[in-house]
Amino acid sequence: MTILGETAVVTGAGSGLGRQIARALLSAGYRVVLAGRRAEALKETAEDSESALVVPTDVADPASVEALFGVVRRQWGRLDLLVNNAGVSIPGTVDELSYEDWSATVAANLTGSFLCAQQAVRMMKEQEPQGGRIINNGSISAHSPRPASVAYTATKHAITGLTKSISLDGRAYGVACGQIDIGNAATEMTERMSAGIPQADGRIAVEPTFDAEHVASAVLYMASLPLDANVQFMTITATTMPFIGRG
């Protein structure tokens, strides 16, 4: 069960899944640091909660990430949970995607998760009692790509490697690391699915979605475990989305 007063950092907390996850943690009694690039959006997520702390952050910037975790140290003295949720999706095939769009995707999705995990693990190793948990937002794309998604898919495959490495290296320090792979949760990012999106066979098809609150509940379950137990990988999808089998 969640201990009242445990501290969490949620990146990408200004909208979508990050907002849902942050609010679920606040409702469960966590003190939550809301990180993201847009201060006003983060304030909307906080809903004036006294347990929420808004810290505008660019996760791709090492200095900005270091400053974020410096605030956590000064404000609450320890970190129990990091949810690496921030990310972007820029469409394009390998021959069409610009270097700039590739670099921006890698910076936000992969480098940002690395930088936040780096700071989190340092805190978790130093604090007393030692340890904590990191939950990385992977994606269905960590298993299988969509058409024209080379940068997003590559970074989400890389998140799986990051998760495994942190999980292994964190064992000696009570640091647990798991990953949640999500398919078609209803957010601003998936609104376009209602009009139809490209499929592997060239068709345009409407895809089903599911309530993003279920993702927040799943993350809350992962976070509620004692540190001697870990959900290494969880996949949560719309039941009838074209993922398993041939569609």
Beta bridge partners of 176: 133
Beta bridge partners of 198: 204
What is the C-alpha to C-alpha distance for residues 137 and 215, in angstroms, rounded to an integer? Answer: 10
CA of residue 84 relative to chain centroid, distance: 4
What is the C-alpha to C-alpha distance for residues 55 and 35, in angstroms, rounded to an integer? Answer: 5
- What is the number of other CB atoms lying within 10 angstroms of the CB of residue 209? 18
Axis-axis angle for helices 16-27, 213-224 (nearest 10): 50
Beta bridge partners of 183: 237
What is the C-alpha to C-alpha distance for residues 77 and 124, in angstroms, rounded to an integer? Answer: 11
Among the listed residues 135, 157, 13, the one whose alpha carbon sits nearest the alpha carbon of residue 83: 135
Residue of 30, 99, 152, 221 marked catalytic: 152
What is the C-alpha to C-alpha distance for residues 214 and 237, in angstroms, rounded to an integer? Answer: 10
Active site residue 30: no
Rg (CA), the chain: 17
- What is the number of other CB atoms lying within 10 angstroms of the CB of residue 230? 17
- So which residues are the catalytic ones? 152
